[in-house]
Chains A and B, each alone.
Chain A
Amino acid sequence: MTTANQSANLGALERYRNNFLKEVEANVEEGHMVKMCMQCGVCAGSCPFGPHWEHSPQKIFMMIRAGKRDEVLGSDSMFMCTSCYNCMVRCPRELPITHIMHGLANYAHRLGIAPKGQPTREFATLFWNNAIKKGRVNELTLTLRHYFRGGLVSGIKEAMAMQSIGLGLFLAKRLNPMEIFGGHGVKDLKGFHAIIAKAKEIEDRKKGFTA
């Protein structure tokens, strides 16, 4: 595993120092709680996607404290979060684990070092952009864009595979093909976009991102 070897080469002087922890505290949503983890592992045992990720929240928190910046921000484990909040309600130290995972994923994504092509990273980006475009989610374009994210050929394949479901939803009046031409949205779209732009500007300024 390359990541472990890289860290071994980092040199003892950089290990278990507060630098990365401080960075996380400053820039990651709820990052100030990372230091409070007591390493019990209840989160790791509570995650429905536990079998699918390399680093449990417990490990992520320890890696942050051990100064493993590249491994943490390059990990795809945070993107495995289904937002079920099971870890969070069980944490005896009351760490907002779900929020920290989201925050770390967002931070890694914004820095551009999150894993490329990570499906949830891509879908989540699609979702947000879809939602803010009109102020409300357009389920049809969201779904189509998701299926076509890998290009036309694989998109047709995935869309065909899910065709019967789409047809079923359409017949059940729960999917509207006309949405492709617009669909629901907020009326004061200009104001809505202005709010988001301002919020983003403030956040970027605080966390030192260049817009």
Chain B
Amino acid sequence: MADNKFAAYICSGCGIGDAMKVPQLEAIAKKEGKMAIVKSHPFLCNAEGVQMIRDDIANEAVTHVCIGACSRRAKTEAFQFEGVAMSRANLREGVLWVVAAGKDHDEVRQEMAADYIRMGCAEVKKMTPPAGNTKESSSKRILVVGGGMSGMTAALEIAAAGYEAVLVEKTGALGGMAAQLWKRQPFKEPYAAAQETGVAEMAAKIAANPKIKLHLNTTIAETSGAPGRFAVKLAQESGAVSEETVGAIVQATGFTTYDMAKLPELGGGQPNVVDQAGLEALAMATKGGAIKRADGKEVKSVVFVQCAGQRDETGTHLSYCSGHCCGTSIKQATYFKDQNPEIDTVVMYQDLRVPGMGEDFYRSAQERGVIFTKGKASTVTGGDSCNVTFKDLILDEESTIATDLVVLATGQVPNAGVDLEAWNPVVTAAEGGNEEAKIQRDAMRTTSVLKLNYRQGPDVPQFKHGFADSHFICFPYETRRTGIYAAGPVRRPMDILQATDDATGAALKAIQAVENAAVGRAAHPRSGDLSFPTARLEGCTQCKRCTVECPFGAIDEDEKRFPVFNEERCRRCGTCMGACPVRVISFENYSCDTVGSQVKAVEVPDEDEEKPRILVLACENDAYPALDMAGMARINYSAFVRVIPVRCLGSVNTIWITDALNAGYDGVMMMGCKKGDEYQCHFVKGSELAHYRMSKIGDTLTQLGLEPERVQTQEVAITDNARVVKLINDYVAELEKLGPSPMKGFG
């Protein structure tokens, strides 16, 4: 501490100086905040103001700076001082712009500003500028798992960007599903005819590219490590095992077609009823000639049944739409029409969905005379003359078509490996000594794709319908395993064009990941953050909460079940810190102390002053910007709240709540992102965990003799600027009805 020198700078610009007594704020920073240097400036973010701070850092050896000005989200370029710890007291968006104007509010406005100065000073004193953790050796090679269209694209893009790719394919040839296609849907102007897949050309490019190392007939035996230092054991068909060190992984393991044997009512398994892959095989066999059935008869009429075993509402089959199948059937219909326009070709759909430029292709098929009929097939009988019985949804009648061949559009099932939701209970039971569970665990492990030796399981988590994880709202390629990116149909159903776009995106994210890992930088959403969590293991009770709850599987366990932090996998959300019951986990610039000291720095008025105090812990990703925007829109909210931004609600440690209530705060409100299946949490699970933890806090409150209403958890979106104000004001009104906290004066 001897070398630390603290300074506070208060801006009186933007009207702050007119509405608040800045000299009093300076005095508080000096006296209560114990700041060695306190200065104010009429325009702190201009060159002169910033220079003043820079001079103090250079000449006065200031190491810690508290800026009392605008929101921490504003003027970030001006207020950026290398190697210096900094806190921001939000006097503008947080006070000036939200507290009602006029003399009547001068007192509460000043009190609010004074508290924010106290909080800013308290926070900065507990901070250390993150030192960062540059690695001496960090791999920048990227492993691509799967040699289909997505995987080949990813490998080529990685190589084109100047990085080395290691491409692993379990079969003996590249191309995956695309190699089984006669043609692909058009992806170039005028989008009117099926095109060559281009698989052979891509495979040749890969073979010739010195930056791509190809392993055919190979699967992954084990993956360990973290971004920048993944060690991947590769098992060849021959039994030989080799090892590759890579910095990031792109998982492009594609899909399998839904098994049409599960669709007996639609003729699955009967003669002359095929799925789309089966039709491709028939087309491949003639290479543009007349398509013949398995029995050798030339097809003169064909019916395509869309959504076969898809968009199923009964819970028996796939509940989702696979996206590509309408376009694929259109393409296959053109196989027939282009060979012989006289072939009767019917596509039976319920809703024709042709994303991208598919509409043009759809039109081109109509021009060829393909008949599209909106109908739902109920039964298909195979045989020499197949019968498709269906309801015509336009003509509203039952009908039957006789046809030579029926094609079922059955959709995509992802090859995403082990479902961790099923894995976890098995592992828990196995660890508890259950022998049956041990066998089951080992069996499950063989179906894994990545065979991660992570504490949280061998594959990336699955989100919906068994597809590999993806942050659907903001970061589509991102799984909850940092440095591992899912691309193509393993992530969500898609066609080749989308898969190649996807693979390109994932390749770029993987490149970012290896670059970040090399210098110890966080990936988004805290991009560039150099801080990382450390634990005082001497205080650890090996409760495993942090290892279980980390949304990113960043923390493993050693033999003694102490947490082992893998900094490169960490996203710096602080969920581990929020989970820790003994508060031994902290970041250099974000800890139980940096927030706790702010909670305690607030001056809580006595009961008789009738000025309640409400602590708002607001997620810095959505809720805090929403509050700032309320300020920008000059929407007033109560001056009784004190807002502290947190990295994620998942990082909220219950000690802050109990500290606040003990100190006499009348209520605590937490604002985080939307949770659940349609989550908007930037750390996927943080908000959900916070809600769960707070649901358990009731007992504690009762023990303290407090009403459960004194702690609230809200879901807030970044666009909710008007709603956050209403939430605050309603809560203040509710607490006023409840009366002051009985804890006041005991703090």
Binding site for B on A (CB under 8 A): 4, 7-8, 11-13, 15-18, 21, 35-36, 38-39, 58-59, 62-63, 65-66, 93
Contacts and interface: CB of A to CB of B under 8 A. Distances in A.
B373 A66 contact: yes
Given A18-B344, A39-B374, A66 B392 contact: yes
Interface string B330-369: 0000000000001010100000100000000011001101
B472 interface: no
Contact of B344 (A16, A59, A93): A16
B399 interface: yes
A17 B366 CA distance: 14
| Majority secondary structure of chain A interface residues (helix, strand, loop or mixed) | helix
Contacts of B372: 38-39, 65
A15 B371 contact: no
A16 B394 CA distance: 13
Contacts of A59: 394-395
A39 B394 contact: yes
A11 B346 CA distance: 17
Interface of B: 301, 303, 342, 344, 346, 352, 362-363, 366-367, 369, 371-374, 387, 392, 394-395, 397-402
A16 B397 contact: no
Given A12-B387, A13-B402, A36-B367, A65 B397 contact: no
B455 to A, nearest CB: 53
Nearest to A55: B395
B510 to A, nearest CB: 41
A3 to B, nearest CB: 10
Given A7-B397, A38-B352, 12 more contacts: A11-B402, A12-B401, A15-B400, A15-B401, A16-B371, A18-B344, A35-B367, A35-B369, A36-B366, A39-B372, A62-B392, A66-B392
A62 B395 contact: yes
Contacts of A65: 371-373
Contact of A16 (B352, B367, B373, B387): B373
B387 A63 contact: no
A4 B496 CA distance: 43
What 3 A-B pairs are tightest by C-beta distance, nearest first? A12-B402, A12-B400, A62-B394
Identify the interface centre among A8, A21, A58, A62: most chain B CB within 10 Å of its CB.
A62
B402 A18 contact: no
Contacts of A11: 402
A13 B386 CA distance: 10
12 contacts: A4-B397, A15-B400, A17-B301, A18-B371, A38-B362, A39-B372, A39-B394, A58-B394, A59-B394, A59-B395, A62-B374, A62-B394
Identify the interface centre among A8, A35, A58, A59: most chain B CB within 10 Å of its CB.
A35
Identify the interface centre among B346, B366, B394, B399: most chain A CB within 10 Å of its CB.
B394
Contacts of B362: 38
A184 B394 CA distance: 48
A128 B342 CA distance: 39
A191 to B, nearest CB: 41
Contacts of B399: 8, 12, 15-16, 66
A13 B394 CA distance: 20
B423 to A, nearest CB: 46
A102 B362 CA distance: 27
B402 A66 contact: no
Contacts of B363: 36, 93
B102 to A, nearest CB: 56
B395 to A, nearest CB: 6
A4 B363 CA distance: 30
A63 B401 contact: no
